[in-house]
Chain A
């Protein structure tokens, strides 16, 4: 903040205070819930702000971390925004955020933008997700789908041609196929199209896209021939309304679950969720403290936010990744 900004800010605040006093009578309290009683943990109390943006799939995990961290360091603010993985990287590579949430690894072209802006970063795997393909409870025929069948439904060539379940496989009934999925800004969409259709972003366009996973739940639930996909957490919350399809990638049918996602047998739709901290931001004590806390308590946070925790090897790797990262940053 420049001194000019600060002066402007003081003037505006004074004026605003007058407007408030006249406008609403009650004074806006600045106290925050539950944090005043908790004394700062041992060590000095830090201040400052850790800006996080990115994937809405990862956001609840970081938000839970932000809340738990707030109980130890009440003065550090961690606002979490949800611009999507791509939107998050755009801001991150512009130096506007400290940490970017991502549900897919950074793309080469995004990396190139970060490079030209001089933003150095590293990649941390913080949780696992099982992309879950769902059908309504009335669907009795599709208990297990092969990746080829999924491709037949979702590939760009299917547009306007694959209209019923019978078009996917002759054994299925001639029920109308209604597809629901996330929009093109989503990392989930990128990951699914890459794994199933063989090319990132390549998908038929005549499906109902929504950034709000609840719309996918409602849509699939309401159509007998409906099918959609989203993160495992969302399925768990709606397990009473929807059935998760088993996925067969050539090694037999596997249901999405905590275990199959952790050991990687739920292929190819189990994926890692990432955190991209900026190297420059890590030099700030509040960012380092937040990341330390996040990584040290990673599986407790994941459980709390109902994510699939890392397996022991992944957890050990995450911790060593952070240690080496901090030694590099100095």
Chain B
């Protein structure tokens, strides 16, 4: 029924409204899109053009070097970033999803403390990342005595993305129709069985998409690492979670502040690598969503 009524009402709307208004509205919508994409395209063209001479195998085969900028690479930054993101995914995703399940499926919203928790999670998502850097430095690096290691970095970034993971996982869980839950419960399943066998599998695409977008945001962070005192010149890959490390955004930051032109080219090439990793992660998110999406 709805399928039939939609085009008819659209036709009626179009014939009633003044054509000029329609055009203005469409142009406004389109130009918003062009502005958003245009800037991204400009940035892409700019960094590609400037970084092009250095986008070759030496970029990921070599370590950064202050002495030979023309052959310096960013291997320690790439591997460091992968370590941080990998560990963050391991820590933040399960915690975030479990917290979201509690809030959506178990929490009694009439209780004041559950509302306080919900409000605070939304607030936490808006806290500037440098604040998490201060938290990481004060509590994880110093008080827990984890030092300036991969572990400290990963925990800090986990805390940073956790609110976003929780919020997106909650949205995904909420999108599962109540009839699915009711059907499962009516057939005699317990609440846990309903969540585990019905709700979660249906919510996986949404959870995965949200989580990957949250991790993508974390990949570009430099501020918390600056606060944590991660080194800018690291000529070795991390060997474990207690190793020193650097990440790509920090390397880019330090290259840009060098005086020699070769470093600026290197910075552009590193930005291209960072964008490529981001794009790859986002494509995985889209693929996951399409692969597992269910229509009710």
Residues of A within 8 A of B (CB): 1, 5-6, 8-9, 12-13, 15-16, 19-20, 23-24, 28-30, 32-33, 49, 51-53, 56, 59-60, 63-64, 66-68, 70, 77-83, 87, 91, 94, 96, 211-214, 217, 233-234, 237-238, 304-305
Contacts and interface: CB of A to CB of B under 8 A. Distances in A.
Interface in B246-295: 246, 254, 256-260
B102 to A, nearest CB: 23
Interface residues of B, number: 42
Given A60-B66, A212-B257, A233-B259, A81 B229 contact: yes
A83 B237 contact: no
**Interface on chain A toward B: helix, strand, loop, or mixed SS?**
helix
A9 B242 CA distance: 7
A64 B63 CA distance: 13
Contacts of A81: 148, 229-232
Contacts of B200: none
**Interface on chain B toward A: helix, strand, loop, or mixed SS?**
loop
A20 B82 contact: yes
A51 B229 CA distance: 11
A209 to B, nearest CB: 14
B259 A19 contact: no
Contacts of A212: 256-257
B79 interface: yes
Given A20-B82, A81-B231, A305-B66, A32 B147 contact: no
A6 B149 CA distance: 13
29 contacts: A9-B242, A12-B151, A16-B241, A19-B86, A19-B89, A20-B86, A29-B237, A32-B63, A32-B236, A33-B63, A33-B65, A51-B148, A51-B244, A66-B233, A67-B65, A67-B67, A67-B235, A70-B235, A79-B236, A79-B244, A81-B230, A82-B254, A87-B229, A96-B148, A212-B257, A214-B256, A214-B257, A233-B259, A234-B259
B86 A16 contact: yes
Contacts of B87: 12, 16
Contact of A59 (B146, B233, B236): B233
B68 to A, nearest CB: 8
Contact of B147 (A9, A13, A68, A96): A96
Given A234-B259, A305-B66, A63 B233 contact: yes
